[in-house]
Each structure stands twice: as C-alpha cells, then as structure tokens.
Amino acid sequence: MSRVGNNPISIPEGVSVEIQPNSFIVKGKLGELSQSYDSITIEQVENQLIIKRINDSKPIKAKHGLYRALFSNMIEGVSKGWIKELELVGVGYRASNQGQKLELALGFSHNIVFQIPSEVKVETVSEKGKNPLIKLTSLDKQLVGSIASKIRGFRKPEPYKGKGVKYVGEQIRRKAGKSA
C-alpha cells in the first residue's frame, strides 16, 4: 500500500485543475503545466484531489505514489513556483548571465557558457565579500532540478577545501589532508 499515493492533495485558491482521460492540466497565477498519466483514476472532491489505482499489481502501485507526487509538485509550482540556489565556492569563481546565457568561470582555462531553457528564469548575485550565487526559478520542479544538477556537475564540491558549485545549505563532508 502506497503511503504517498493515499494522501489527498489540497488545491489552493487561484489554482484550477482540469482532469481529462490520460491527461492532467493545472493552471495557476504563474502559468500552466500538464502531465499525462495511466493506471490511476483521479477524483476531485471540493478542494482536494484523491488518486486511486486501478488494481494492486506491483508496477501500478509504484506509479500510484509517483503520479501523486508529480501532481502535488505541479500544483505547488503554478501557485508558488520552485527555486534552486547554487553557490560558487572558490577563489576566482564567478557567474554572470546575459538573458538566458549563463557564463561561469570555475577555474578552467576557459569560461563555460550554458544555455538555460526559456521556462527557467536565471539570476546571478555577486556581492563583495560573499560567494557568488545563481538563482534558478521555474514552475516545473523536475526541470529546475535537472538544470541545477547540470550546473553543479561542471565543478562538484571537493572534500578537502570545499571548492566547487554547491547548493545553498548543502553540507559537504570534509576530509583531513595529509598528516605529516
């Protein structure tokens, strides 16, 4: 029995939900998202969505919790939006953006130019005495997470000095250096 799939999803004010056969559409103040689905049924009772599976086979049980989480993330995305913040830790590490092009100086011999999709808004913050920040905002949690992961993948934080691109609030396990 899926614990996640059995939880009802509450629909906040200002969000409209359209349930079609094999398609789920959410509209809110920030935009619109859609998701196709199968093997489940969706019921709307007042301001709540209840997701039920059609039978108890193992693959359908797995999809039950998955679709509930996807629908919940979509509803939160069109009402509040999703934000991921990345921090550049290291001497000479810089980030700047011109529109949807993100330019990163991460200690390589060349700068990395990364094209951000139009669905994601990018903002860079550089204050004196603080590490540069990259702020990504979008309606789609999956898209903003994958873009943040790609940016982090250019220079992952290393365990000795902690240099690299890390999420804000991420704890890096540090290792001791050589013992003399």
The yes-or-no verdict on residue 111 having pLDDT over 60 is yes
Task: Please give the structure tokens belonging to residue 34.
Answer: 């859609």
pLDDT level of residue 2 (50, 70, 90 thresholds): low
User: Average pLDDT over the chain, rounded to whole?
Assistant: 92
Residue with tokens 């994601």: 120
Task: Give the long-range contacts of residues 40-45, CB within 8 A, separation 24 or more.
Answer: 40/64, 40/67, 42/71, 44/11, 44/17, 44/19, 45/8
Report pLDDT digits (tens) over 14-44. Answer: 999 999 988 999 999 999 999 999 989 999 9
pTM to 2 decimals? Answer: 0.89
CA–CA separation, 1 vs 65, rounded Å?
10
Sign of CA dihedral 67, 69, 71, 77: negative
- In DSSP terms, 164 is beta-bridged to 89
**pLDDT computed for residue 179 by the predictor:** 81
Task: Please give the structure tokens belonging to residue 104.
Answer: 């990163």
60 in Cβ contact with 30 (< 8 Å):
no
CA–CA separation, 72 vs 131, rounded Å?
33
Residue with tokens 């943040």: 148
Task: Please give the structure tokens belonging to residue 130.
Answer: 């603080």
- Domains of the chain and CATH, by start: 3-79 (3.90.930.12), 82-167 (3.90.930.12)
Report pLDDT digits (tens) over 143-153. Answer: 999 999 999 99
